[in-house]
Amino acid sequence: MSIAQATPSSADLLHLRVERKAFAETPVLGQIDLRLQPGEIVSLLGPSGCGKSTLLRLVAQLDSDFVGELRQRPEQVGFVFQEPRLMPWLSVADNIGFSDDRQYDRERVAALIDEVGLSGFADALPKQLSGGMAQRVAIARGLYGQPELLLLDEPFSAVDAFTRYKLQDLLLELARRHHIGLLVVTHDIDEALYLSNRVLVIGNRPGTVRQELHVPLSYPRERSDDTLARLRSQALSALHDARVL
């Protein structure tokens, strides 16, 4: 199922239409119509290999070899990868501003360091950080360019559950404060539902949106909310129908 919406709207923060994406002759993505409104939080939930990272790379314009059209995309897009990908020889501050060729805006970097809860670690090297702290640096680096849209590819899958909860709350707080749209790839049903306004369940071969779940809850949310529990079983049956489970 594609994300059907009646007419294109100039209010879209993002609008990507994919007809087909293949590697060599192997189809990876089928028809997908992906839209985000400004400030909207959308998760892509699906099994390994269904094309989630590929889709994110199309949005980021890291790959333009596909049949379809990137109709609308904000000028500034940030990217947070599964692993922090920090330069080991650069300090926290330098890693955050690195994309700006070392002549970066030090005030903005200092503000971001505070915002992600790393006050006092500006001069620390990556090897002095825990996994969760390193991922906070990666989030700050993703925000440095003042994006309207932040893409996150399984950003918390390598950290323990408690750290993951804290990072999810941090991400929601940052998205709210800066009014940034988020497109989050995850394998974790609870993470997808807790974070998102909408969850797109992606099926395999080729990757298409099999179901769209709306989460009608405002923020901040209670993890134990009954609505999340109800949507969880809906997501599970969607994954089952998509032959993922």
Ligand X SMILES: Nc1ncnc2c1ncn2[C@@H]1O[C@H](COP(=O)(O)OP(=O)(O)OP(=O)(O)O)[C@@H](O)[C@H]1O
Which residues in this chain contact ligand X in the complex, by CB under 6 A? 23, 28, 46, 48-54
For position 53 contacting Mg ion by CB under 5 A, the verdict is: yes
Q: How many residues of this chain bind Mg ion (CB under 5 A)?
A: 1
Amino acid letter for position 189: I
For position 186 contacting Mg ion by CB under 5 A, the verdict is: no
* Closest approach of ligand X to the CB of residue 2, in Å: 18
- The answer to whether the beta carbons of residues 3 and 212 sit under 8 Å apart is yes
48 touches, from Mg ion, ligand X, none (C-beta below 5 to 8 Å by class): ligand X
- The answer to whether the beta carbons of residues 152 and 143 sit under 8 Å apart is no
- Of the candidate spans 46-54, 84-92, 190-198, 235-243, the one that interacts with Mg ion by CB under 5 A turns out to be 46-54
For position 135 contacting Mg ion by CB under 5 A, the verdict is: no
Based on CB atoms, which residue is closest to ligand X, 167 or 185? 185
Rounded to whole angstroms, what are the CA distances from 78 to 31, 50, 131, 242?
25, 23, 20, 30
Based on CB atoms, which residue is closest to ligand X, 95 or 135? 135
Strand 208-214 vs strand 32-36: parallel, antiparallel, or unpaired? Answer: unpaired
23 touches, from ligand X, Mg ion, none (C-beta below 5 to 8 Å by class): ligand X
* Closest approach of ligand X to the CB of residue 23, in Å: 3
32 touches, from Mg ion, ligand X, none (C-beta below 5 to 8 Å by class): none
- Of the candidate spans 51-59, 134-142, 161-169, 228-236, the one that interacts with Mg ion by CB under 5 A turns out to be 51-59
Based on CB atoms, which residue is closest to ligand X, 8 or 27? 27
For position 43 contacting Mg ion by CB under 5 A, the verdict is: no
Q: Which residues bind Mg ion (CB under 5 A)?
A: 53
